[in-house]
A and B are shown apart, each in its own frame.
Chain A
Amino acid sequence: MKELSRRGLLGLGGALGAAALLSACGEASGSASSDSLSTPAKLRVWFMKDSVSDKAQAWLKQEFENKFQGSTLTIEQQEWDGIVPKLQTALASPESTPDIIELGNTQAPTFCAVGALADLSGMKEELGGANLTKSLVELGSFENKMYAAPFYAGSRIVFYRKDMFQQLGLAIPKTIDELTAVATKIQAGNPEKNAHFSGMFLPGISSQSAFAWVFSNGGRLAVQKDGKWEGSLSSPESQKAIAQLQQLWRTGSTTGTITDSTIGSQPYTAFNTGEAGMFFGFNFHLKKIKKELLDAGNVGYFNFPSPKGDAVGNPFAGGSNVAISNNSKARGLAKEALKLIFSKPFQEFFATEGGWVPGNLNYAAALGQDELSKVTVEAVRSSVGTPAAKNWALVESAKVVDDFFVAMGALKDPVGLAKTADAKMTEILNSK
């Protein structure tokens, strides 16, 4: 009864807007118990869509709840679209924050810099130390402290229809120009006489796919000069890449004008319906390809080519970091859960179930020795990330780069729009 009336009073306090009082209470009790392991807690974990397989999720929940009797771990799956504003709001208060969060690697620098995440430097060795993916450690660190640990990495590879290549006498392209030529020939050939046929499925909205052209030509989205960031889509290298892209969209792909992000994130759909000869996707998309196509041996894959054909191209370094919210009331238990995430079984699930390269490279061997894994690891190794700038997440959520590539897909003016986008990036990246 006493308990009930106390709660009732607290509720009334909340209703009266005594938020300050309440949050003060929360803080007092929070700091006392936040690092303790003996107080049971209800951990909330945010994983992104397509990141962690169901098996791995179930394993984590069970292991944690067995190890810490009385505590629970709930995984809430989040959508990539709009996640940055959601995190900005949720992480800011102890009442609403999830305890463990997955952050897109491009968003990690922002959250590390603003004090939203708990310092993980102390447990870096325990999580994997030198075996952690280096580029992801960099993106998850700020002023030499690691706040977000490498979760997993992945990069796109090109899937193609072997039967179409054979029918038209095409070979696997070794250069970017050859890729465009092959796509053009398939599109002109249209072997299945399909009304919506595209040589290569490459929607304008999928800017992360288009980054491969920019990076392989030596271009970058933004560069740091004398401590200041500068948008770099106008550089000769980036412009060359955009010219190649627009050539592809003119003759080898009808999908440049696709602006629906959902369609963009499922590049295998057009491939499955026989409406595309190639698509640029992740290794785990293989599981989404129609069984008949796979069984007939009609599906092949290769690495994104380089401009000169002397090496593997440089696709975008996709991936995630994982972190603990600084406002979590159960940081101690969250750290224990993080240790489970970096244990061998969980890390290997990435490779065996999801097809991602695990954050601790010691366990990458679980990907296997087959051709697909080989191609994937090669893609990850040569991949390039977005700028490790504190404000990069803000550039992303302002859709500067997305809007730019959508316009390129619609064959709009590359020079003028690159200038505008660069100016915007420069402004956002250097603002305090």
Chain B
Amino acid sequence: MTVTSTRAKPEGILPDRTKPAAPRKRRRNPLPYILLLPAVLIVLVDMGYPLLRQITMAFQHFSLEQQFGKPADFVGLDNFTRVLGDSAFWLTLGRSLAFCLVCAALTMAIGIGGALLLTKLSRPVSVFVQAAMLLAWAMPVLSSLQVFQWIFDSRSGVVDWTLAGLGMQGMAGYNWFSNPLTFFAVAAILVIWMSVPLVVFMVYASVTQIDESMLEASTLDGANGWKQFREITVPTIAPVLLLVTILEIIWDLRVFTQIFILQKNGGITEQTNVLGTYVYQVGLSGGDYGVASATALIMLLITLLLTWRYVTQFLKQGEV
């Protein structure tokens, strides 16, 4: 009691000595917390509730009857053993990982290359290229999907027509969506095409922040372009590269729309399933919500494992 009262006095007398007073004031003011509340609530309701529900369902026998009101029984790890024992799951996982890594790597390579190229272009050309990429990026997925399906159409597609015109006999009327390899090639082109612009923008933005004098000095010291890129550019923009890489991996691993729509055009659903469409097929179409939830949890775990190193590195860099 006495302590507080003696402390209160100098505070009142010397309001300018804010060092000890400022944190206390902040602690008392509820405004920041009130401002945070809506965001936290939205995250809790939007993400927390479905996540909790999903975790519960992963341990339940939950099929169509339960969806229409029958009580659900807890079945322990049953759903997980069923997923892990299903060879289709492992095939799908392998396919997904390969697709994700190829797409993410190519997207990053093309994106970084594009960003560096942008720095060398004259202003009007650079603006034009950026506008074009913004359009590609902002295009609704379904519209680009439709256009891609037309481009690769077996009857009237421009790709088959061109290839046949170049003398590749077998390519006239070739159905790109009926063979898993060509199916994923088309899907990859589409996915990469839609995600390169973001990488270009983010990398370009950070590359232009690099101190010119540093580059100049290194040129004087005799460093060539590649060396400059490796030893100055990359370390400087590393946080951005890490962030974009994490995002790309996450996005490409849970790719859904592109594959799902192309599957409708392909008729080889099982051979073209990736994790996203597999979960959809087991859960929503197959009516086995329990197993689908378990699969989705495993998918989440894999995403975390894949990006863990990047995330920790990213957090470390953020501190520095």
A residues contacting B by CB (< 8 A) are 15-17, 81, 84-85, 88-89, 91-92, 110, 114-116, 196, 204-205, 257-261, 326, 391, 393-394, 397-399, 402-403, 406-407, 410, 428, 431-432
Contacts and interface: CB of A to CB of B under 8 A. Distances in A.
B284 A85 contact: yes
Interface string B262-275: 00111111100000
Which 6 pairs between the two chains have the least Cβ-Cβ distance? A406-B267, A397-B285, A259-B267, A85-B284, A114-B64, A17-B45
Given A394-B286, A399-B267, 10 more contacts: A84-B285, A91-B68, A92-B67, A110-B287, A259-B178, A391-B287, A398-B286, A402-B269, A406-B267, A410-B178
B270 A403 contact: yes
A398 B267 contact: no
17 contacts: A17-B49, A89-B284, A114-B64, A257-B178, A261-B267, A391-B287, A397-B281, A397-B285, A398-B285, A398-B286, A399-B269, A402-B269, A403-B269, A406-B178, A406-B266, A406-B267, A407-B268
Nearest to A404: B267
B17 interface: no
Nearest to B153: A260
B65 A114 contact: yes
A258 to B, nearest CB: 8
B287 A326 contact: no
Nearest to B266: A259
Contacts of B59: none
A326 B265 contact: no
A196 B154 CA distance: 11
Contacts of A393: 287
A196 B281 contact: no
A371 B193 CA distance: 54
Contacts of B264: 81, 261
A17 B270 contact: no
Nearest to B177: A259
Given A85-B284, A259-B177, A204 B267 contact: yes
Contacts of B287: 88, 110, 391, 393-394
Contacts of B266: 259, 406
A16 B286 contact: no
B77 interface: no
B284 A16 contact: no
Nearest to A403: B269
Given A259-B177, A394-B285, A398-B286, A115 B41 contact: no
Nearest to B263: A399
Contacts of A115: 65, 68-70
Interface string B257-300: 00000001111111000000000110011111000000000000
A114 B264 CA distance: 27
A255 B77 CA distance: 47
A202 to B, nearest CB: 14
A302 B13 CA distance: 105
Interface string B45-68: 100010000000000000111011
A397 B286 contact: yes
Name which of B41, B63, B267 has the most chain A CB atoms within 10 A of its CB.
Answer: B267
Given A205-B267, A403-B269, A110 B64 contact: yes
Interface residues of B, number: 31
Given A17-B49, A114-B64, A116-B68, A85 B175 contact: no
Contact of B284 (A17, A81, A88, A204): A88
B68 A428 contact: no
Interface string B230-252: 00000000000000000000000
A394 B288 CA distance: 10
B227 interface: no
B309 interface: no
A426 to B, nearest CB: 15
Contacts of A204: 267
Interface in B138-192: 154-155, 173, 175, 177-178
A15 B45 contact: yes
Contacts of A326: 68
Contacts of B270: 399, 403
B44 interface: yes
Contacts of A410: 178
B185 to A, nearest CB: 16
Contacts of A261: 264-265, 267
A137 B269 CA distance: 32
A88 B67 contact: yes
Contacts of A15: 41, 45
Contacts of B41: 15-16
A359 B154 CA distance: 40
A416 to B, nearest CB: 14
Contacts of A391: 287
B268 A403 contact: yes
Contact of B281 (A257, A398, A407): A398
Nearest to A14: B45
A15 B38 CA distance: 10
B88 to A, nearest CB: 9
Nearest to A406: B267
A205 B288 CA distance: 26
A172 B169 CA distance: 36
Contacts of B284: 85, 88-89
Contacts of B269: 398-399, 402-403
A304 B217 CA distance: 83
A402 B281 CA distance: 14
Contacts of B173: 196
Nearest to B260: A82
Nearest to B281: A398
A432 B63 contact: yes
Nearest to A270: B155
B152 to A, nearest CB: 11
B175 A257 contact: yes
Nearest to B64: A114
Nearest to B284: A85
